[in-house]
Amino acid sequence: MELTVLGSGSAMPVPDRVQAGYLLDDGDRSLLVDCGSGVLQRLAGTEAGYEGVSTVLLTHHHLDHVAALLPLLKARWLAGEEHLEVVGPAGTKSLVDGLLGVHDYLDGRIDLAVREVSASRSFAAGGFDVTARETRHSMDGFAYRFSPPSSDAPAAEGPLALSGDTEAFAGMARFADGTEVLVHDCSFPDDVDVSNHPRPTSLGESLAGAEIGTLLLSHLYPHTGGREREMERGVREAGFDGEVRTATDGLRLSL
């Protein structure tokens, strides 16, 4: 399966990073995870395109993860696509209902399904097998671990995990243990005082001893600009011993 980083940015815009969005692709199946502002433009540059994505999985409901949800629905409607499924934590249905209440001319334009999932059992989304765990953030949400459609492995042993927005904590390290790639929120450098998001040292400490092939730092605020190597080094010096990279929009990884 392929992971494409569509958006490695956050709620404060920078020119080269749009808000949160990741495309998972396994040949003929595609799954979009999060749909922040700018993600549709990035998606339009992929082989799948917005026409090829009929399922969106949300980590949580902060605006930088959901801003392009109705724009996606509208683009698919205009392109003649007939379905869209939105999957996410509790509250996803009221979020979508609320958005359609404001933009009511879009209601009923395509066959829209909304499904709320929990961390208690794995589920399928866009053909991928997925398991969830609660994050530690200013809003309830999920991290996800994925197994591709072609795999016999359960999601809990899948090769890819995405943290969503979360502080660093040991439970996330256990959740992602054994992955080839963990994409983790690393919003700020160490010298920015912040809660609800990790910084390199707290992230590296939380992941010390975990078996993770590549850690991809993402959800980057403008404060991280030009400090990517320093942040990667900080994660390693704090105890994480896998490969550390910084996400960029358009980055593709094969798993």
By CB under 5 A, name the binding residues for Zn ion.
62, 64, 165
Comparison of 81 and 165: residue with beta carbon closer to Zn ion: 165
Comparison of 76 and 137: residue with beta carbon closer to Zn ion: 137
Q: What is the C-alpha separation between 130 and 51, in angstroms, rounded?
A: 22
Comparison of 1 and 5: residue with beta carbon closer to Zn ion: 5
- Smallest gap from residue 11 Cβ to Zn ion (A): 6
- Smallest gap from residue 149 Cβ to Zn ion (A): 28
Of residues 142, 101, 144, 141, the one with CA closest to residue 125: 144
**What letter represents residue 199's amino acid?**
R
- Smallest gap from residue 58 Cβ to Zn ion (A): 11
- Smallest gap from residue 15 Cβ to Zn ion (A): 18
Q: Following DSSP, what letter does each residue of 27-63 receive, concatenated?
A: TTEEEEE---TTHHHHHHTSSSTGGG--EEE-S---H
- Smallest gap from residue 166 Cβ to Zn ion (A): 9
Comparison of 42 and 62: residue with beta carbon closer to Zn ion: 62
User: Residue 37 in contact with residue 18, Cβ under 8 Å?
Assistant: yes
Comparison of 52 and 91: residue with beta carbon closer to Zn ion: 91
Q: What is the C-alpha separation between 159 and 100, in angstroms, rounded?
A: 35
Sequence-ordered list of residues with C-beta below 8 angstroms from that of 186, at least 6 positions apart, any chain: 197, 198, 199, 200, 203, 217, 218, 219, 220, 224, 231, 235
